[in-house]
């Protein structure tokens, strides 16, 4: 019972920090301490999520903790793998160089047996691709295949990768337009159809704009 009470106090503290982004920079070290084995899975999960948001805003200050955050990519607990991927995505969005030593590990998470982890993988890649689309130019086939994933959340999220890349580097999405159009018209899931259609629209708009330059 004492451990549960302590968890509640720590989680309350983390929630208070979360609500006050102005104090994030000076609290990064304190939050990173919560990744220690002395804390529960729930506390570590919350800390990982918060560190990702902190890293997006403060990439210089998060750098010394990225190795510890990435260490959870292969944790035995799926919740911690999920949150680690989320955090790596946010940090990588701010500065791709901080997460490059762990990029191959992140890419392997597409094979994770848990749907939530695979979904976090796609979401993390989208975040990184916003400012570093070149990392995924040769990997788009992975996300095309994931539109047929066994998990609905993954299937819904995967087309969003083509929207992100299509806006920034439409020529790399162009080879996938025919398949995306087929999915936009015929997929059984209405949200998948909507997201595929959105990716097509954004990509074609970007292609047209580039042609008119």
Q: Considering 131, 159, 177, which residue would you say is the last residue of a domain?
A: 131
Q: How confident is the model at residue 2 (pLDDT cuts 50, 70, 90)?
A: very low
User: Are the beta carbons of 146 and 122 closer than 8 angstroms?
Assistant: yes
Residues 112, 149, single domain; the answer is no
Q: Considering 131, 150, 182, which residue would you say is the last residue of a domain?
A: 131
Q: Considering 131, 147, 181, which residue would you say is the last residue of a domain?
A: 131
pLDDT, one tens digit per residue, over 41-80 is: 999 999 999 999 999 999 999 999 999 999 999 999 999 9
Q: What is the pTM of this model?
A: 0.94
Residues 158, 83, single domain; the answer is no
pLDDT at residue 39 tops 50: yes
Residues 106, 150, single domain; the answer is no
CA distance 91 to 101: 13
Q: Who contacts 86 (Cβ-Cβ below 8 Å, separation ≥6)?
A: 48, 49, 52, 120, 123, 124
- HSE-up of 3 (CA within 13 Å, CB side)? 6
Q: How confident is the model at residue 213 (pLDDT cuts 50, 70, 90)?
A: low
Q: Which contacts qualify for 18-27: CB closer than 8 Å, 24 or more apart?
A: 18/50, 18/53, 21/53, 21/57, 24/53, 24/54, 24/57, 24/58, 25/54, 25/57, 25/58, 25/61, 27/54
User: What domain count does the chain have?
Assistant: 2
Question: What residue numbers bound the domain in which 180 lies?
Answer: 135-213
pLDDT, one tens digit per residue, over 99-137 is: 999 999 999 999 999 999 999 999 999 999 999 999 999
Looking at residue 5, what is its pLDDT?
Answer: 58
State mean pLDDT over 172-185. 98
């Amino acid at each position: 019972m004492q451990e549960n009470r302590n968890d509640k106090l720590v989680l309350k503290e983390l929630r208070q920090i979360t609500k006050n982004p102005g104090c994030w920079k000076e609290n990064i070290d304190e939050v990173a301490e919560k990744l220690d084995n002395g804390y529960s899975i729930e506390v570590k999960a919350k800390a990982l999520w918060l560190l990702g948001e902190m890293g997006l805003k403060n990439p210089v200050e998060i750098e010394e903790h990225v190795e510890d955050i990435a260490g959870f990519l292969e944790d035995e607990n799926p919740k911690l793998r999920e949150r680690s991927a989320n955090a790596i995505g946010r940090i990588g969005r701010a500065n791709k160089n901080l997460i490059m030593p762990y990029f191959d590990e992140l890419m392997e998470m597409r094979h994770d047996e848990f749907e939530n982890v695979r979904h976090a993988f796609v979401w993390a890649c989208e975040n990184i691709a916003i400012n570093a689309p070149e990392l995924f130019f040769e990997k788009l086939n992975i996300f095309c295949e994931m539109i047929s994933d066994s998990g609905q959340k993954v299937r819904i999220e995967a087309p969003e990768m083509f929207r992100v890349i299509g806006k920034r580097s439409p020529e790399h999405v162009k080879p996938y337009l025919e398949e995306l159009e087929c999915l936009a018209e015929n997929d059984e899931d209405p949200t998948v159809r909507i997201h595929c259609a959105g990716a097509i629209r954004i990509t074609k708009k970007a292609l047209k704009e580039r042609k008119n330059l």
